[in-house]
Structure formats: structure tokens, C-alpha cells
Amino acid sequence: MSDSNDLIQIGRRSFLKNASVAVAGVSGTVAALSPLKEVVGDFDVESWLQQHYHELSEDEMKDVLARLEAEAKETYGTDIKVRDVKPKEDTKFAYALNLGVCVGCRKCAYACEKENNVSRSPGMQYIRVLEMEKGGVNLETANHQYEPETVPKPDKYYMPVQCHQCDKPSCVKACPVNATWKEPDGIVVVDYNWCIGCRYCEAACPYWARRFNFEKPQLPKEEINPNTSYLSNRPRPVGVMEKCTFCLHRTREGKYPACLEVCPTGARVFGNLLDPKSEIRYVLQHKRVFVLKEEVGTVPNFFYFFEAQS
Amino acid sequence: MKDYFAFLGRAFKLSFVGDWRYYAWMSFLTIVALIGLNAWATQLAQGLSTTGMTDQVSWGAYIANFTYFVGIAAAAVMLVIPAYLYKTEPLKKVVIFGELLAVAVIIVCLAFVTVDLGRPDRFWHMIPLIGKFNWPISMLSWDVVALAGYLLLNMHIAGYLIYKLYLGEEPNPRWYKPFVFTSIAWAISIHTVTAFLYVGLGGRSFWHSAIIAPRFLASAFAAGPSLIILTFQIIRYFTKLKVADEALLLLRRIIAVAMVINLFLLFSELFAEFYPHTYHVAAAEYLWFGLNGANKLVLWIWLAVFMNVAATVIFVSKRSHSLPWLNAACVLAIVGIWIEKGMGLIVPGFVPTPLGEVVEYAPTFNETLVCLGILALGALLYTIMIRVAIPVVLGGLRREV
Amino acid sequence: MISTFDNFIKGFLAVLVGLVGYYFVATILSSAAEEKQPPVPREQPINLDFGPTTKRADKVYLHKATFEYECVECHAWQERDPSPREFIGEHSKMNLEHGSLKTCFTCHHETEYDQLVDPRDGSPLAYNKHVSLCVRCHGPVYKDWKYGAHGRRGGYWDKSQGEQTRTECIICHDPHQPAFKPIAPLPRPGVARGAVHAPSDEPHTRVGKLLKHKPIPKTVRGPAIVEWEIEDTYDE
């Protein structure tokens, strides 16, 4: 058989030939990998080896926070503070939105973007305001890109959608590495240093609430919010998921989320479901609330109600 | 052990030896693979914004190709069942080349998943005990287990048999028969698990249908053996391995049945979508007729249907006993099912988004280069495997005593 | 000897050419891949209006020619005409579009010009107690406002950790034109890649069809724009 004859004849000439082929192959591979030169400097071994949020001891967490502050300083030139804000006891957050009062101005979307250091890449905003046709709740005819002279238009109503922090979240079920989970106070969070960027959670979410960093976040230095926390609004790297966290760095310290603070019409209601005297409980008891896509069974904690005055 | 390393060394050297056509083929594949590697390096440097994917359509060509090729890999079982269970003579000689194809194709699948990840450097997060593996809750975790297991199974089976042949020893049935029978069930499971990735998402009504898993299997068992038929003829032409026509014709019968089932399932799906015509069928509406003026996929899916129907007709008719017709039908089936599973399944799952937004997707040039590079890698690996396996099987490569 | 050396040189040159050629091709191809667009800066700063929600209404002044006048300063020497009237003098630019209200004295006291009127007994009511006047007609909304389902709140949802602010009626609603004016929305979100196909503007529902051709009234529901200053103290 000629094949084994080929092998027997391996001598200096074919060795040189083979060696040069091998060298060409190796150098070709190195040349192919040349674009990685740009990002080789960004690679940090400590960051790469960091364990999951739940596995970090208090001291390890302190080191991680310090490292994140240093990274932000290097990338953006600004001093930021990254804290690990723990959940409050006996708290379960919920949100309600008065569809009769929302005028579709989108101030909530932009306030959120600023508060949470979201990339200014188009479409990244956690809050998406839908222009809905009056007479039903039909998402198929909703317009996301409305830009009339003034809002509201008389034949439309406006429905902001953001992460609903579901009680049975499809995204948490989907994640293969447990990079996203539901915290004890109800907020569904993402560990940005653990996420592998597979985007299965984004496919799983029935409310299109999750965002992925397809590129390095476009974050203008002057607009960075320096008060950040590990699980919510600290500057994120490329290639990881993120989403609304009900501003847990504010709400876990008793403040309102940014979207609610800025809403000019007071359409948003937020609070602790476990407090019977809270505003959110009042709304759930006295208003007729509904949730989106109830049939999907995710049990959202974001309620819509209509208290229209015109 | 020393023998084994010697075997690997000889195999490595042998893969650089061949006639000018072999060199041309391998150089071509290497260049395409390196171009793909370069494109991937660009993607790693800049992020996935080099692809056409967006938050609206967050899975594209990579996952489409992954899904399709998992089906191809599963189709090796269509050789294994007749060869091992029914001991069909013409297939017994060539089944090992089907198993080697499965190995190459699974590596292609794993490559497609890797290039789709936003942070492939964090792959270790998936390793149980070292990282956090969300098994059994996450369907992706099942997919990882299924694909890794299938790869190891086939590597072991093919590797063991080849090595034993090389040594001139009789393979011990205990060391391959149980694995072979496991691989039959496992092959079905890898494609079922991949289907369940989509079916398990209740929020996406285009995918939340029980018919997806049976359609996956039916189309895989049509496209996979079609590829095997074509590959075996190429092997028969370029090497000394004699693949009997009966082997090809047996595969033809399997494909014919699978194509008919696939068409019936398609008809069933179309009825379920368009007769009641609820608002949940917006995605099917987009795929088949266009939505809000977005209609990039309409031509493709109708082309795919046409190709599949044509392929089915040819496979079922007596004409496909002749090789030119058979090959034409195979090409139609491979391409038609690729379109149907890739563009016809993945992209419409994202259009419209769960909030009703219609944003279209098209792969970018860079993305296409990565895909081609991975395919070239698969072809490269498979060529090397048969470059070694065929001399072993035919007796030309034996342990030197 | 010579032929081996020849081959070596040929081999070396081939490798060199291959490397250079490959690097060249790879560089061209990677730059032909997607060019990164620099982020487009926004043209104007986005006005987010995070506040104010802490003003209370105590007194009302007329601001004219850099002076501040209390209402009684003019009305002290004017003759009182009780018949329904047009808006004259300093009130001529005002529109009254408060539902079916046609007279001024539903809310304003007839003789105490710097006070409102309590409709239960006609006694004067200070401006900073205007909520108890609005509630006489707007009971259900008052209840919602009291418990947080209506109106703007700010600061802390957890009052044990900080101060919570809420707005009183006339901070957001101009009592003469309580319905809000429409405002310009902030820019659309856009999409990173790929074309967006918006739904047609034609209405799909029956209600939508009915409302499509409804004329847009002058004041349609919209966010608050308070056009006149409310001082909370008056410095002598």
C-alpha cells in the first residue's frame, strides 16, 4: 500500500517540507489572532479567576469591590464607589404603573439610563415605553419608536415595560451557570463577573427585559453615576447581560428608584409588599390591576392599572 | 501506551502526506479556517457588535448553524442502527466513517456555541464543582452534558476500533458494543435536548410547541444521511475505500421516510398556526408572509419548502436509484433543511420580540467568515480522520513490529 | 549539497512570502469587517426634571414690572361687581378651563382676595390649605393622593430611613387649567443594528378607530408645566 510507503520515505527532504508547512501553519495562526493584541491588556487574571457572588467571603468581596473601583478609574478616569448593598429584612419589592396617567415622555427611560450607568448604545435602555392603541392591550400593534411632536396622542396610551422581577423567572431557570438569581427581597440580579454571555436568559424572558453588551459600553465620562453597587449599576464589561434591578442601590436603602423620582405625572408606585400600609399595597387592594402575559406563569411583580381621567 | 503514542505520531505525520489534490484541499481548508479564526479574534476584541445580532434578535447564524449541525451529528445513528442492530452487511463496513463524521460535526457544534458566547474565557464557569452548573434546571446544561457525552462516546467507539485494527487485534465487544448501543439512544437525546432548548421557553409562542422536537428529529434524519451519502461518494472517489451502492440506497430509504414525516409535520404546524390565526402567530406570519413590511425571510422559507418537496418527491420515486438523481435530492435536502432549521426556526423566534417590535436580522460579513471558518475546521478534522482511518481499515497502516 | 541548500532557500522564501502575504490579507479582511461607529453625542442635554416636589402653596402674588403685588393691594380700592364677569385687567390672559366651573368664587373668597373659600360655610381658607378645598369635588382622587396612588412622591419610600416628599394639588395642576398640556417626548430608543419596522398608524381596534378622528383638544392630558411662581414666604 502506498500510504505506508509514503511514511517509510520520511527523510530529510520531506521533513523539511513538513516542518516548513507546520511553521507556516503556526505562524498563520498567530497572524490570524493578531486582533487580540488590542484587548490582551484588558485581561486580568484575578478578574478571570473570581468566584461567583455567593461564594465570596467578606474579605474577598472587599478586594473585589476595590478592584472594580480601580478598573473603573482606569477605564473612565473617574472615582466611583462600589458597595455590596445587602437586602433589607422583611422586604419584598413591587411596582405599579398607572396607565391612565403615563404620557409617554420617556423621562423614566433616560433617568434610568443615567442612574444605572447604562451604555448609550441604541436600544439599551432598560425601560421601553410602548405606544399602545386604546381599546385593547395588543403588543403586536405597539409602537416602540414613536416620536410625535407632543405626547400623549389622543388615540394612544403609553405603557412602560421593564424587568418585572418575576416570582417564577424564566431567565433564572434558563441560565446554565447561575449567573442570575432572585434575591430575598424579590429583585432578580445578575453577577456581571460570572455571566458567560450565552444570552439564553434574553431568549427566555417573555417581557424582553434583559439587555446584552454587544460592545464595550458607551458610557460618557461626565455622565457616570459614581454611587454604584456590585449587583446593580456598577460599570459593566463587554459581553455580559444586564437589566433593571429596581435601583437596588437606592431602594435597599429606602429611596425611590430613579424612574419613579423623575416621572412628571406620578404614574409610578413603588414599595414593600410586606408592609400593609405601603402605597403599593393600597394600589393592589383598591385598584383593578393586571399583569402582562399572565398566562406565561412567571408571576411578575410589576402591576398595571388604569386610573384614567380623560 | 508507547504503541498508542507511536500510533498518534504516525497519524499526525500521515495527515501531512498525500497527493497534490490532498494538499490543495487541506491548504484551502486551512486558509479558510485561519480566516475564520481571524474574524473570531476581531469579534473577541470588539464584542459581538461585529455580528448582526441585537437585543431584539439575540441569536443568529451561530446558533442556527449549531442547531442544524447537532442534527447532522445525531444522524450518525441512522448508520449505527442498521449496522449494529440489524447487522446490514454493506453498512457494517462503513459505519465507522459515520461515527467519525459525528465526532467532527460535534466539534463544529461546540465551536459554534463557543463563538456565540459573549465571554468564552469564562467557559470554566460551566464546569461542575469548580464553577456553577445549573443542572438539571437549565436546558443549556443538559445540552452541554449531552453534547460532551456524545463526543466522548463516538471518540471512544471509533478510536477504539481504529486502534485495535491498527494493532491487528480483535476488538473486545465489551469495550465497544455497550457504548454503541448507548450512542443510539444518546444520538436521539442530543437532538431532543437541543429542541427542548427552544420548546422550554414559554414566552416565545413560535417555539413553545410540542412539534419542534419531532420536526428536529425528522429533519435531522433526512439531512444527516444525505450528507453521509455525498461524503461517502467523495471518499469512494478519492480513496481506495469501496463503499457499496447498497449502503447508499439503504440510507436513501431512511431519508425518504424521514422527509415524508418532516413534510407532514410542516403541514401540521402550518395548519395549527394559520387556521385559528391567533395573535400568537405573528412570528409565523413574519416568516411566511412578512410583517409590517419586514419580509427578508419570505423568499428563503418558500424556497426551502420547494426544495424539501422536490427532494421528497425524488427520494420517494424510483429515479433516485440512480446516483445523479440521488445526489441532486441530497443536495436539495441538505440546503432546504438548513434554511428551514436555521433561518426558518431561530430568527422567527425573535421576530417580533415579546413586546411586539419587528427588527430584522442578517449576518454580517465577519459573522459569515467565522461560520465558514468553523465549517472548514470540521472538514479539516474529518479529512484528517479518514486520512488515517482508511489506511487502517484497508490494512495499509499497521503497527510496526 | 547545492540542491538541498537551494531547496532550503526556496522553502525559507516560500514561508516568508506566505507569512507576509497572509498577514497582509488578514489585516485587510479584519479592517473590511464592520467599522466601529463612534457614539453619536446627543444634540441637546436631556431635561429630566428630578424635582422640585417640596414647594407648598402659601400665598399668591401678581408679578408685574419687577414688582410683586398682593391681590388686596388693588382690590382694596376697587368697586366690587358681583355679576359673572369676563377676565379683565391683570386677569385678561387667564383661561378658565376647569371642567364645568364658570365663576371665580367657587374657589376664591368674594371679599378676602388673598384667601380661598371653604364651600361648606363660606369662610376664608388659606392657600396652604387648598387641598381641603379641592377634595370637596375630587374625593376619590384625594383618597388616592393620600395613600400614594396619585401624584408625585420623592425621596424615601421607607419613611424610617429618610424624608418622603409629596406634592400638593396646585404644585402640578394649575387650578384654572388643571388638565396638563402635551409635551415633546424624549428621543426614540432606536436599534443597534438592523431595520425597525413600525406597525402601521392605522387603528386596529374599534375604540382606536373612534378616537383617531377626534379633534385634539387645546389642553390634552400631559405632564405638568407650572407657569407661575408660588412663593412660600413673603419677606417684608
Residue A180 maps to a domain: yes
User: Mutate which of C212, C221, C225, C226 to test chain A, going by most A C-beta atoms within 10 A?
Assistant: C221
One-letter amino acid at B63 equals: I
User: Domain range holding A295?
Assistant: 93-305
Of the candidates C94, C234, C226, the one whose C-alpha atom is nearest the C-alpha of residue C169 is C226
Number of A–B residue contacts, CB under 8 Å: 213
- For the entire predicted model, the pTM comes to 0.87
CB contact under 8 A, B53 and C29: no
pLDDT band at B362 (very low <50, low <70, confident <90, very high): very high
Distance between A286 CA and the closest CA of chain C, angstroms: 9
> Is pLDDT larger for residue B314 or for residue C23?
B314
Residue A285 maps to a domain: yes
Cβ of residue C137 closer than 8 Å to a chain A Cβ:
no
Which residues of A are less than 8 Å from C8 in CB distance?
16
pLDDT over threshold 50, residue C38 = no
pLDDT score for A147:
94
pLDDT score for B228:
95
- Do A3 and A141 reside in the same domain of the chain? no
User: Domain range holding B230?
Assistant: 2-394
pLDDT score for C232:
38
Residue B400 maps to a domain: no
- Do A113 and A259 reside in the same domain of the chain? yes
The tens digit of pLDDT for each residue in B40-79 reads: 999 999 999 999 999 999 999 999 999 999 999 999 888 8
Look up the CATH number of the domain holding residue B326: 1.20.1630.10
- Do A125 and A270 reside in the same domain of the chain? yes
The tens digit of pLDDT for each residue in B295-346 reads: 999 999 999 999 999 999 999 999 999 999 999 999 999 999 999 998 899 9
Q: Determine the Cα–Cα distance for residues A217 and A124; give it in Å rounded to an integer.
A: 10
CB contact under 8 A, C198 and A143: yes
Per the structure, the count of domains in chain A is 2
pLDDT band at A215 (very low <50, low <70, confident <90, very high): very high
Residue A101 maps to a domain: yes
pLDDT band at C230 (very low <50, low <70, confident <90, very high): very low
pLDDT score for C77:
65
Helix (H) or strand (E) holding A48: helix A45-49
The tens digit of pLDDT for each residue in A78-94 reads: 999 999 999 999 999 99
pLDDT score for C62:
65
pLDDT score for C18:
85
Domain ranges of chain C: 54-78+93-182+220-231
pLDDT over threshold 80, residue B347 = yes
As to burial, measured by CB atoms within 10 angstroms (0-12 exposed, 13-18 middle, 19+ buried), residue B66 is buried
Q: At what angle do helices A279-286 and C139-147 cross, to 10 degrees?
A: 140
Which residues of B are less than 8 Å from A208 in CB distance?
55-56, 353-355, 357
Cα three-residue angle B330-B335-B341, rounded to 5 degrees: 120
Look up the CATH number of the domain holding residue A259: 3.30.70.20
pLDDT score for B268:
96
The tens digit of pLDDT for each residue in C96-113 reads: 888 777 778 888 888 888
Residue A239 maps to a domain: yes
pLDDT score for B287:
96
pLDDT band at B1 (very low <50, low <70, confident <90, very high): confident
pLDDT band at C82 (very low <50, low <70, confident <90, very high): low
Lowest mean pLDDT among A279-293, B105-119, C35-49, C181-195: C35-49
User: Mutate which of A51, A182, A191, A214 to test chain B, going by most B C-beta atoms within 10 A?
Assistant: A214
pLDDT band at C172 (very low <50, low <70, confident <90, very high): confident
The shortest CB-CB distance from C152 to any of A149, A154, A266 is to A266
Distance between A175 CA and the closest CA of chain C, angstroms: 24
pLDDT over threshold 70, residue B127 = yes
- Do A19 and A108 reside in the same domain of the chain? no
A neighbour chains, 3+ CB pairs within 8 Å? B, C
pLDDT score for C48:
57
Mean pLDDT, rounded, for A242-265: 96
pLDDT band at C195 (very low <50, low <70, confident <90, very high): confident
Mean pLDDT, rounded, for A150-159: 91
Residue A43 maps to a domain: no
Mean pLDDT, rounded, for C145-174: 92
Distance between C21 CA and the closest CA of chain B, angstroms: 12
Distance between C212 CA and the closest CA of chain A, angstroms: 6
Helix (H) or strand (E) holding A83: strand A81-83
Lowest mean pLDDT among B264-278, B328-342, C198-212: C198-212
Per the structure, the count of domains in chain B is 1
Cβ of residue C18 closer than 8 Å to a chain A Cβ:
yes
The tens digit of pLDDT for each residue in B7-50 reads: 999 998 898 888 999 999 999 999 999 999 999 999 999 999 99
- Do A1 and A107 reside in the same domain of the chain? no
pLDDT score for C2:
55
